[in-house]
């Protein structure tokens, strides 16, 4: 008689092997799947409380040339329910108010969870402008804004974080960003501020500042609220972005660091190349990341 545990191991191994074929010629991902089979074959139980989890999602800016219907279709094809939405095209309009509600209803009907809004900019301390954006987040039913205030406007934004009880994850934009180049620049400013103000670490922009991405995650700890993932062929060159797994980004190390800090948020793929046809590269990126996760014994 085959035990239940042996059957689970067999079925898991078969599923991982089949998925590895789908990754194509990417050797590292295939090896990751193989390691995943070894892990579960040695007694691990998928879905147990002891199994670390990384929740892979999508930053809708990856689809900035497309409308809401396409975003829903593409997200489904990527087999994830998690979406960080930006106010572009009709994806999640801030105005008119009625269209925000329509977008929320459309995502809900499609089984897609809007995990955050952004990037939303706060260029000044104007209270009316800040309030409008927090009202927008409240209408959308989200508890996290991925934002980019200026250093001058941040104290005013903090007051609305407190009033609305909506968290703010400040997004770093690399060497060109005179406000927040690196996550460490953000962390130095927000440490004494309300704990609902944290970081959205963009790993590509972080690497281009010369900052160690893995160490930045570990240093920021509980102040990491969101993470935008991408890969670079040259860790100093923005234009060298490639599908995740084809570059030099330490993907496994990033996942390990997130687990080490007890991260409960989302890892959103932000794919900023091939803007007219992003889906093939995004499918490849998800396949690679899922292969690495399986090899680590993590859940997606």
Q: What is the CATH number of the domain that holds 171?
A: 3.20.20.150
Quote the radius of gyration of the chain (alpha carbons, Å). Answer: 20
Number of neighbouring beta carbons within 10 Å of residue 271: 25
Count of structural domains, the chain: 1
Q: Record the tokens describing residue 103, joined without a space.
A: 């977008």
**pLDDT attached to residue 49:** 54
Q: Is residue 251 in some structural domain?
A: yes
Low-confidence ranges of the chain (pLDDT < 70): 1-49
**pLDDT attached to residue 50:** 74
Q: Is residue 221 in some structural domain?
A: yes
Q: Give, as one character, the DSSP assignment of residue 42.
A: T
Q: Are residues 296 and 288 in contact, defined by beta-carbon separation less than 8 angstroms?
A: no
**pLDDT attached to residue 137:** 98
Q: Is residue 70 in some structural domain?
A: yes
Q: Is residue 247 in some structural domain?
A: yes
Q: What is the pLDDT of residues 112-142, one digit of tens each?
A: 999 999 999 999 999 999 999 999 999 999 9
Q: Is residue 1 in some structural domain?
A: no
> Taking the model in full, what pTM does it have?
0.84
Q: Is residue 156 in some structural domain?
A: yes
Q: Give, as one character, the DSSP assignment of residue 221.
A: G
Q: Is residue 26 in some structural domain?
A: no
Q: Which domain holds residue 156?
A: 49-296
* Rounded (5°) CA angle 33-36-37: 95
| Number of helices and strands in the chain (H, E) | 11, 10
Q: Is residue 44 in some structural domain?
A: no
Q: Are residues 299 and 289 in contact, defined by beta-carbon separation less than 8 angstroms?
A: no
Residue 19 CA to its chain's centroid (Å): 22
């Amino acid at each position: 008689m085959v035990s239940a545990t042996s059957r689970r191991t067999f079925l898991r191994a078969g599923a991982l092997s089949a998925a590895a074929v789908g990754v194509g010629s990417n050797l590292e991902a295939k090896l990751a799947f193989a390691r995943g089979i070894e892990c579960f074959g040695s007694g691990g139980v998928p879905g147990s409380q002891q199994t670390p989890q990384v929740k892979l999602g999508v930053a809708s800016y990856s689809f900035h040339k497309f409308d809401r219907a396409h975003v829903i279709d593409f997200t489904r094809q990527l087999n994830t329910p998690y979406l960080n939405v930006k106010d572009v095209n009709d994806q999640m309009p801030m105005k008119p108010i009625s269209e925000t509600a329509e977008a929320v209803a459309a995502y809900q009907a499609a089984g897609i969870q809007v995990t955050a809004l952004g990037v939303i900019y706060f260029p000044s301390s104007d209270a009316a402008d800040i309030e409008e954006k927090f009202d927008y987040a409240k209408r959308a039913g989200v508890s996290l804004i991925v934002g980019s205030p200026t250093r001058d406007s941040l104290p005013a934004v903090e007051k609305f974080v407190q009033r609305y009880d909506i968290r703010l994850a400040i997004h770093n934009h690399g060497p060109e960003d005179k406000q927040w180049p690196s996550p460490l620049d953000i962390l130095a400013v927000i440490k004494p501020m309300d704990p609902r103000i944290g970081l959205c670490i963009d790993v590509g922009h972080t690497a281009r500042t010369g900052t160690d991405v893995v160490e930045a995650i570990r240093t920021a700890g509980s102040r990491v609220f969101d993470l935008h993932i991408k890969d670079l062929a040259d860790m100093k060159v923005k234009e060298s972005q490639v599908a995740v797994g084809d570059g030099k980004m330490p993907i496994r190390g990033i996942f390990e660091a997130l687990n080490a800090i007890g991260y409960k948020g989302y890892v959103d793929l932000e794919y900023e190349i091939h803007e007219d046809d992003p889906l093939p590269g995004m499918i490849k990126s998800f396949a690679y990341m899922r292969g690495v996760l399986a090899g680590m014994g993590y859940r997606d």
